[in-house]
Amino acid sequence: MAIKFQYNKTSLQQLEKQLKVRVRTLPIIKNKESALRMEVKRCKTEAADLEDRLEQQIQAYEAMFALWNEFDASLIKVNDVHLGVKKIAGVRVPLLENIDFEIRPYSLFNAPKWYADGIHLLKELAHTAIEREFILAKLNLLEHARKKTTQKVNLFEKVQIPGYQDALRKIKRFMEDEENLSKSSQKIMKSHQEKRKEVEA
* Confidence (pTM): 0.73
Read off the pLDDT of residues 115-156 as tens digits, 9 standing for 90 and up.
777 788 888 888 999 999 999 999 999 999 999 999 999 999
Position 1 confidence tier, pLDDT thresholds 50, 70, 90: low
Helix (H, G, I), strand (E, B) or coil at 87: strand
Position 21 confidence tier, pLDDT thresholds 50, 70, 90: very high
CA pseudo-torsion sign 21, 22, 27, 29: positive
CATH architecture, domain defined by 9-178? Orthogonal Bundle (1.10)
Q: Kindly list the domain boundaries of the chain, sorted by start residue.
A: 9-178
Instruction: Give the pLDDT confidence score for residue 68 in this predicted structure.
Output: 67
CA pseudo-torsion sign 46, 48, 51, 53: negative
Q: Where are the beta strands (DSSP E) in 11-146?
A: 76-88, 91-103
Q: What are phi and psi of 78, to 5 degrees?
A: -80, 120
Q: Where are the beta strands (DSSP E) in 108-161?
A: none
Chain-centre distance for alpha carbon 143: 7
Instruction: Give the pLDDT confidence score for residue 43 in this predicted structure.
Output: 93
Beta bridge partners of 101: 78
Q: What average pLDDT does this structure show over 166-190? A: 87
CA 155-160-165 angle, to 5 degrees, is: 150
Beta bridge partners of 91: 88
Q: What average pLDDT does this structure show over 51-74? A: 78
Q: Rounded distance, CA 63 to CA 41, Å?
A: 33
Query: Which of 55-69, 86-100, 113-127 comes out lowest in average pLDDT?
Result: 55-69
Instruction: Give the pLDDT confidence score for residue 46 in this predicted structure.
Output: 94
Q: Rounded distance, CA 48 to CA 54, Å?
A: 10
CB 171 within 8 A of CB 12: yes
Instruction: Give the pLDDT confidence score for residue 6 in this predicted structure.
Output: 84
CB 81 within 8 A of CB 97: no
Beta bridge partners of 81: 99
Q: Rounded distance, CA 179 to CA 201, Å?
A: 33
Q: Is the pLDDT assigned to residue 47 strictly greater than 80?
A: yes
